[in-house]
Amino acid sequence: MSKSASSTFSDVEDEAIRICQELIRIPSVNYGEGKGDESAVAAYVVASLAEVGIESKIYESAPNRCNVIARISGSDSTRPGLVLHGHIDVVPANAAEWSVDPFGGVIKDGMIWGRGAVDMKNTDAMILAIVRDWARRGYKPPRDIVLAFFADEEAGMTYGSRFMSSKHPEVFAGCTEAISEVGGFSVTVADGKRLYFVEAAQKGIHWMKLTATGRAGHGSMMNEENAITALTEAVAKIGKFQWPQRYTQTVKDLFREVARVTGKAYDEKDLRPLLKEIGSTARMIGATLQNTANPTMLEAGYKANVIPGSASAVIDGRFLPGYEDEMNSTIRSIIGPDIQIETISRDIALEVDFNSPLVEAMKAAILREDPEGIPVPYLMSGGTDNKALSELGIVGYGFSPLRLPADLDFMSLFHGVDERIPVDGIRFGVRVLADFLENV
């Protein structure tokens, strides 16, 4: 976005805010286990694009599980294309826990409130506002852009990006790079300096079910083969295990910059002391210094005086790029040979090069809007639809820019009660994202 146009660009910012509110007001809740409905929000996206002459198509992977795809021709279609994607599903919200209607999309205290405000209807709204502006003024971006609004990101991507990458890879033909959520947001550190965290790596997922079997019997009798006892001992060992520190290149690059900016010591043998320099973001970043395995579910028994013959638990395992085998073998060694391990879900880890022309364009766009900003790479403890696109050879980053208040606990808002996003953050994001897309 050229500086000369910035005085009139406020209309695009206003539209992004309006669209974000309207998207929040369309519940697109994903309950998991195949129970979700993105049809209404997909129809909204299609209508929003059609209103300015952009043709799009809905790909339904199952009843009401909808993905929207559109292709915008660039000024040089011989160049590799860019996938600009977001997901349109949200996690459930218990209205009784919220101070506002979670699907009201209200603006209060300078924030847009509602389920999906952070994850990730704010970015969906930015994308729509920017491309609608392009269409109105007849602008063509430098390269072809495929817009993808995916279903089911919040429950494994089966009906969304995985369906599209496996069943309809042709829609991404010619694309080599992608950008999406959870990147380009500011983290304020010492002396008010702002780091902009660009996602360049993601942990992998291994959700596993542990099952112990034993001898069923009466609850009043001695039983040294109690399945619940065996299982809970194994689960407690996993929950209390101290995982070794393992630092990927992305993590090293991030903390080297944190140390430089804050004037603190950089000790590659132990980076944990630097976590306190990045405030509340440390909750997520701390999980990227090691593998993690958290017990999340237990199931056993059916009556107070009956010892069951089996008991099971679910473990949410997250492994660093390059450390999947270590995590799996460690868990096996912790629980011993008698507990059965069954994979519920598994997904890859990712780590991409932060030294690329695409990243340079991201940095330049941030710095044009915030000359004192410091773009840095980070490793995400969760995952995004970039995992599915990577199977097509598409290199993906997290870049949905936001300038955030220094005291905002941004990470706690993901899937949290009273989820909300700063209005000024969206305005900043629209300007930076448009600048990036028009200069990449």
Tens-digit pLDDT profile for residues 247-275: 999 999 999 999 999 999 999 999 999 99
pLDDT at residue number 111 = 98
- Check whether 355 has a pLDDT greater than 90: yes
* Beta-carbon contacts of residue 417 (< 8 Å; ≥ 6 apart): 93, 94, 97, 98
Amino acid letter, residue 179: I
Query: Within this chain, do residues 115 and 144 fall inside the same structural domain, yes or no?
Result: yes
Query: Within this chain, do residues 96 and 215 fall inside the same structural domain, yes or no?
Result: no
pLDDT at residue number 121 = 98
Q: Residue 191: which pLDDT band, with cuts at 50, 70 and 90? A: confident
pLDDT at residue number 9 = 84
Last residue in a domain, options 347, 364, 397: 347
Query: Within this chain, do residues 77 and 141 fall inside the same structural domain, yes or no?
Result: yes
pLDDT at residue number 8 = 67
Question: What would the mean pLDDT of 66-83 be, rounded to a whole number?
Answer: 97
Query: Within this chain, do residues 114 and 249 fall inside the same structural domain, yes or no?
Result: no
SS (H, E, C) the chain: CCHHHCCCCHHHHHHHHHHHHHHHCCCCEEEECCEECCHHHHHHHHHHHHCCCCCCEEEEEECCEEEEEEEECCCCCCCCEEEEEEECCECCCCHHHCCCCCCCCCEECCEEECCCCCCCHHHHHHHHHHHHHHHHHCCCCCCCEEEEEECCHHHCCCCCHHHHHHHCHHHHCCEEEEEECCCCEEEECHHHCEEEEEEEEECEEEEEEEEEECCCEECCCCCCCCHHHHHHHHHHHHHHCCCCCCCCHHHHHHHHHHHHHHCCCCCCCCCHHHHHHHHHHHHHHHHHCCCEEEEEEEEECCCCCEECCEEEEEEEEEECCCCHHHHHHHHHHHHCCCCEEEEEEEECCEECCCCCHHHHHHHHHHHHHCCCCEEEEEEECCCCCHHHHHCCCCEEEECCCECCCCCCCHHHHCCCCCCEEEHHHHHHHHHHHHHHHCCC
Tens-digit pLDDT profile for residues 4-16: 344 468 999 999 9
Total tally of structural domains belonging to the chain: 2
Query: Within this chain, do residues 306 and 259 fall inside the same structural domain, yes or no?
Result: yes
Query: Within this chain, do residues 193 and 56 fall inside the same structural domain, yes or no?
Result: yes
Query: Within this chain, do residues 161 and 54 fall inside the same structural domain, yes or no?
Result: yes
Last residue in a domain, options 347, 375, 405: 347
Query: Within this chain, do residues 222 and 106 fall inside the same structural domain, yes or no?
Result: no
Query: Within this chain, do residues 193 and 228 fall inside the same structural domain, yes or no?
Result: no
Q: Which domain holds residue 419?
A: 3-198+350-437
Tens-digit pLDDT profile for residues 309-327: 999 999 999 999 999 999 9
Tens-digit pLDDT profile for residues 79-95: 999 999 999 999 999 99
pLDDT at residue number 303 = 97
Q: Across the strands, what pairs with 45? A: none
* Average pLDDT across the chain, whole number: 96
Q: How many CB atoms lie within 10 A of CB 173?
A: 11
Rg, C-alpha atoms of the chain? 23
Amino acid letter, residue 233: E
Q: Residue 190: which pLDDT band, with cuts at 50, 70 and 90? A: confident
As a whole number of Å, the end-to-end CA separation of the chain is: 11
CATH (domain of 254)? 3.30.70.360
- Check whether 363 has a pLDDT greater than 60: yes
Query: Within this chain, do residues 134 and 30 fall inside the same structural domain, yes or no?
Result: yes
Question: What would the mean pLDDT of 228-242 be, rounded to a whole number?
Answer: 97
Query: Within this chain, do residues 287 and 340 fall inside the same structural domain, yes or no?
Result: yes
CA neighbor of 93 nearest in space, from 318, 418, 379, 412: 418
Query: Within this chain, do residues 95 and 144 fall inside the same structural domain, yes or no?
Result: yes
Question: What would the mean pLDDT of 25-42 be, rounded to a whole number?
Answer: 96
Last residue in a domain, options 302, 317, 347: 347
CATH (domain of 116)? 3.40.630.10
Cross-sheet strand order for the sheet of 204-213:
292-300, 310-319, 204-213, 340-347
